[in-house]
Amino acid sequence: MPELFSYDFMVRALVAGLLVAVAVPLMGSFLVARRYSLIADSLAHVSLAGVGAGLLLGAAPVIVAIPVTAIGALLLEWLRQNRRLSGEVGLAILMSGGLALAVVFANLAKGSNADFTSYLFGSITTTTRADVVTLAVAAALAVGVIAMNYRALLHIAYDEDSARIAGYPVTFLNYLLAALAAVMVVLSLRIVGGLLISALLVIPVVIASQLAGSFLKTILWAIAVAMVAVVGGLVLAFYAGIAAGGAIVLTAITLLIATMIWKR
Amino acid sequence: MLIDADGVTVRLGNELAIDRVSLCLHAGEFIGLIGPNGAGKTTLLRTLLGLVAPTAGRIRREKATYDYIPQRANMYNGITPLSVLEVVRLGSRGAEQPAREALDRVHMEAFAHRRFNELSGGQQQRVAIAKALAARTDVLMLDEPTTGIDEPSQAEFYAILQSLQRQGITIIMVSHEVESVLKLVTRVICLNRTILYDGPPEHFETDKYLPQMYTAQHRQLHHHHADPAGAPHA
């Protein structure tokens, strides 16, 4: 058995990473298709505000971050549906607003800078057993909701008007997907970090869309690619002694470049 | 009767987009919806489909499968026509065969594996129609499908629409190509916020209902003929 597996924290990190690698690209496939790739980035910044508030209040950061991020996600979706702001502008405002709040809160909650940094860039090797269980429940929820509404979500992702005409509950499903994305983003904070999460949402999907012909295959490829990136990144981090979140994202980008060269 | 709209008024912000429009849509019709820019044609289609709520009046829609194809279906950029069809056919096993058949009905089978954004405007419209066919659409609403499409492709496109109509699909098409529309459709609706004309194409007097549009076209035509150094005839 490789040395890697003799450490409990590495095994937990691998399991947590693989759970994220299933749920995040799965949602990413729908978000990228509807030109909403940046939502994860915006939500991650909002979630950091929640983390900052949690640190300030002395509460568990993740517990505070989930409702804060969910509210941010629903607000964003409301702005988009009511055409108050174009999706892009809303994302940009939410992103900078979230980070601004995060910085202010973290600054006020003096002395926990190291803690805050672990949410910015991830700290997968400090994953606890409880983290893994929470993540497993959330990932199962995401897979279940998406599998049950697969056809409707696919239709909405490509053609919202047509989906509405076909009678799907488009508004409800949009809010549901936004809320799910919010939960997954918060739970992935400790794995890849708030500043890197969107890479795991977007890059595997972009690679997959170069490899697969159909949408379903794109999802499956994206999950496979994300798993390779997570495992590869963790192994790299373990043996090279570098930050795991960064190693995962860099592995994903390397895979993207390799795919682009191969597919040229 | 598929759709029954009665006194439908739509305000978009402060603007009156549609003013007391009443019309019935019957199965098997091929309607050409014409009118100047800003006449509310697109809004009328979207209102009939329930995408826009009327400010006043009421709309009754029979249970049927409707689809709306926008002028530019660029949301499908990057994926292949087969995947576009996947949007509506997925879940059924052996979905590729009906998808290919639908592409075949719009003469796009050969392009099944191209990327959507590599197709011409007319080909994209045909893929969007194939998607509607794969979903067993009864009523097809097209929004200026032939804008920016060259004439031979337009003729092919119109022929496809006619064959769909013969197969029992009801079509409403917004168009600026008044002369082609008059030859094609079974009914013309001329809209400029209110309905100016609703009847058979034979009785539609273009210069009466669309004087501006007609003169503009006429002038353009005239200009072409008068130009001795004009483009070589294809």
Q: Is residue B233 part of a domain?
A: no
Would you say residue A113 has pLDDT above 90? no
Return the top range by mean pLDDT from A101-110, A209-218, A240-249.
Answer: A240-249
In a structure prediction context, what are the per-residue pLDDT tens digits for chain B, which is 234 residues long?
Answer: 899 999 999 998 888 999 999 999 999 999 999 998 889 999 999 999 999 999 999 999 999 999 898 887 777 777 777 777 777 664 444 567 777 888 888 888 888 888 888 888 888 888 888 888 888 889 999 998 888 788 888 888 899 899 899 989 999 999 988 888 899 999 999 999 999 999 999 888 877 777 655 444 544 454 444 444 444 443
Given a contact cutoff of 8 angstroms between Cβ atoms, the answer to whether B21 and B5 are in contact is yes
Cβ <8 Å between A165 and B49? yes
For an interface test with B, which of A150, A159, A161 has the most B Cβ atoms less than 10 Å from its Cβ? Answer: A159
Read out DSSP for A5-71? GGSHHHHHHHHHHHHHHHHHHHHHHHHHHTT-TTHHHHHHHHHHHHHHHHHHHTS-HHHHHHHHHHH
Q: The CATH number of the domain where B151 resides is what?
A: 3.40.50.300
> Is any Cβ of chain A less than 8 angstroms from the Cβ of B98?
no
> Is any Cβ of chain B less than 8 angstroms from the Cβ of A150?
yes
Q: Is residue B128 part of a domain?
A: yes
Q: Is residue B231 part of a domain?
A: no
> Is any Cβ of chain B less than 8 angstroms from the Cβ of A171?
no
- Domain total of chain B: 1
Chain B residue with minimal CA distance to A154?
A: B87
Range of the domain at B185: 3-226
Cβ <8 Å between A213 and B50? no
User: What's the pLDDT score for residue A252?
Assistant: 95
Cβ <8 Å between B70 and A215? no
In one letter, which amino acid is B77? N
ipTM beyond cut 0.85: no
Q: Which residues face B11 on adjacent strands?
A: B16
Of B51, B75, B113, the CB nearest to A165: B51
Cβ <8 Å between A213 and B82? yes
Q: The CATH number of the domain where A222 resides is what?
A: 1.10.3470.10
Q: Is residue B193 part of a domain?
A: yes
Range of the domain at A147: 3-262
Chain B residue with minimal CA distance to A215?
A: B83
| pTM given for the model | 0.82
pLDDT band for A112, please (50, 70, 90 cuts): low
Q: Distance (Å, rounded) from C-alpha A25 to C-alpha A29?
A: 6
- Domain total of chain A: 1
Of A158, A161, A213, the CB nearest to B87: A158
> Is any Cβ of chain B less than 8 angstroms from the Cβ of A162?
yes
